[in-house]
Structure 1
Amino acid sequence: MRSDIHVCSDPENVHDRPVYTLGDSCPVCDAPTENSAPAPFDPTDRYGEYRRRARRDRP
């Protein structure tokens, strides 16, 4: 899934809320933007168990 709406890739350091735009760079801080669409969900994901386990093990 691909979206035309982009969000600033560096929101924690500069912004107090997400900045959305249609361009390739943030209009506030001029940082590059990234796709705002969520990753597709696949119920047959073979590696989902390992990814969830790795996420739990992080401090």
Structure 2
Amino acid sequence: MTDVAALPLVVFFGVVTVLLVRSREVNWWVASLIFLFGLYVGQTPAIFMITGFVDWVLERMTG
């Protein structure tokens, strides 16, 4: 799939996610999981910073 074809899908799913969060059908932690999933799937340049943060949080939680 090209970037031109993927952009409308990204916008559509972003709008659906925002509407779900605003209607309170999705909790804040589910919204953050949706956000992280989108970053991992999209492989954006911010993925390295987010991955480091998630690894740090998981390391703190497990001891």
Class of the TM-score when normalised by the shorter of the 2 chains: 0.3 to 0.5
More helix by share: 2
Give the number of the structure whose alpha-carbon radius of gyration is greater. 1
TM-score (norm 2): 0.34
TM-score (norm 1): 0.35
